[in-house]
Structure 1
Amino acid sequence: MTGLQQTTWTGVIPIEDTALTVTDSGGSGRPIVYLNGSYATQRDWHPVIAELGSGWRHITYDERARGGSKRSADYSFEACVRDLDAVLQATRVERPLLVGWSYGAILAVHWADRHPKRVAGVVSVDGAMPYGLTGEESRKRIRKLFRRMRVLLPLASRLGLAARMTADQHAEINIEANQLSADLVPILDRLACPVRYVIATGGHTGAGADEMAQVRASLRPVLARNPNLRVSVEVASNHEALLRKDFRAIAEVVRETAAVQDQHAH
């Protein structure tokens, strides 16, 4: 976070039955709000933020039961939407550039769809693709995967790789995210802001490279219909390693998306 520490504010925003840890670099630069993967923390964005530097206003936060944020009785997607609203209100940010990874990308496009005049653009990092594992067999598969991992989850949460939730709660977030992804087509079709994708080429936990190739291929028809959406870059990393290994490519796509918005403004 070199060069950002002098003006950086870190604090807690209370919302409903919980409280979110938030970091805001401050300054007059274009505001970027970073949206984490399902079980990730704001720390994952540090390489991208350092690469972009102090000319931007960087805002990160931990979702409920992740990182430094407190637990809650509600881990639903709509709770995540309300959390983003609360962070924007508390930081008084208008027209942010939303940069989301995985689950965070789904949140970004949903929020952009609901607030088309309040968003500058979206950078989707290997997320927000209209493909999801739905149906009872898929739900069983997801629940089984997380129950197998239940002994490791407390350790993983301390490393920032999981939430402070039960295995079943982890699974339900994943199941809901898959349904949200499967239902994305109408949202992606009508997005009016610039949306730029950073796509990985490898697999990830619970889905091999072949299955992830199907997920990414689901974007093609939407890209053909909506000129506001574009794949800016494909990188060799897998889904989990993107932010760590390809932060320079992600930062470059952030710059590209901001430049597109600037052109639209003129």
Structure 2
Amino acid sequence: MSTKDSHFTVHRDGVAIQVSRGGRGRPLVLCPGLLTTQADLRELIELLRRDHDVMTFDLRGHGLSSSADRYTFEAFLGDFGAVMAELEDHAPLLVGHSLGADLAVHYAAGHPDAVSGLVLIDGANPVPEPFLTEADLPGFRAMAEGLRHEFERVAGTERQVLLTPQDFLDLNIEIEAVRSGILDRYRKIDRPIHLIMSTSMAGNSDDDQARWRNENWRAGVERLVRERPHLTTSRLDADHRLVVTHAREISRLIREATF
């Protein structure tokens, strides 16, 4: 199957979600992560379109999609379902990065016959210890406030992010809670799953916190593999922005994966 490039809008919950589709081959739905837009993923999208009919979109409050009253996990998941409905009877391969990986797992758990497999990139990780504790909140809140300048820098462009720093903080706290129960979601999925994980999710700093976060991330992957021994994994020498910095390696791994 091949499709010409197309762009359209999906309306849900008062939000206009901007969707693009193009390429040839089996269907694939690519879900970006938090603070990531279609524009950021342009290289990966073009590479994937060589082998797949790729549909992707901007999350609410991101890129060319409109702002929203709510930026909650359930709101993003509902938007993801609305985009999936545009594929009609096809069972696509789901590819998600970060938050997008969590959305893909939750969607597949609720619609096990609607997907052919999942590729999860640096997300949906059942880490044994939470990343955000009460003691971490002041520092994380300061980091969220530090994003304000970046949000302002890209305002009005296809890379804009309309969330406030408080939205970002609240959503990350919610994602922590969601991931604490994500193993139960994995148990409901009987489709092939391939993980592509970074070696330095929290960056390459030598400080104790970054080192601990990277170890915790690695331990979550090991925990998941013990739970789901038929799941396959790849690791890239990269940080959490690997979908941007390592697009060629990721497209190759997706192409070579068996589903």
- TM bin, normalised by shorter chain, reads 0.7 to 0.9
Which residue does 2:122 correspond to in 1? 126
Cα shift at 1:253: 2.5
1:62 corresponds to which of 58, 61, 67? 58
Cα shift at 1:16: 1.4
d(CA) in 2 for partners of 1:208 and 1:239?
12
Larger mean Cα displacement after TM superposition, 204-213 or 96-105 = 204-213
Cα shift at 1:49: 2.7
Cα shift at 1:188: 2.6
1:138-179 CA-partner distances (Å, limit 9, x unpaired): 444432321243344321555666621211111111111122
- SS where residue 39 of structure 2 aligns? helix
Larger mean Cα displacement after TM superposition, 84-93 or 158-167 = 158-167
Unaligned runs of 5+ in 2: none
Which residue does 2:176 correspond to in 1? 178
CA 119–35 in structure 1, closer or farther in 2 if over 3 Å, else same: same
Which residue does 1:17 correspond to in 2? 14
Which residue does 1:234 correspond to in 2? 235
Q: 2:81 touches 2:107 (CA, 8 Å); kept in 1?
A: no
CA 169–73 in structure 1, closer or farther in 2 if over 3 Å, else same: same
CA 134–48 in structure 1, closer or farther in 2 if over 3 Å, else same: same
Cα shift at 1:202: 1.8
CA 143–78 in structure 1, closer or farther in 2 if over 3 Å, else same: same
Cα shift at 1:13: 1.4
Cα shift at 1:229: 1.7
d(CA) in 2 for partners of 1:61 and 1:40?
10
Cα shift at 1:37: 0.9
Which residue does 2:247 correspond to in 1? 247
**Residue 148 of structure 2 is aligned to residue 147 of structure 1:** no
d(CA) in 2 for partners of 1:119 and 1:253?
19
Which residue does 1:45 correspond to in 2? 41
1:193-249 CA-partner distances (Å, limit 9, x unpaired): 111011111244797244123112112122123134221x21111111x12332222
Which residue does 1:34 correspond to in 2? 30
Q: TM-score scaled by structure 1? A: 0.85
Unaligned runs of 5+ in 1: 262-266
Q: 1:196 touches 1:253 (CA, 8 Å); kept in 2?
A: no
- SS where residue 8 of structure 1 aligns? strand
d(CA) in 2 for partners of 1:159 and 1:200?
28
Which residue does 1:71 correspond to in 2? 67
Paired amino acid for 2:189: L
Q: CA RMSD in A?
A: 2.4
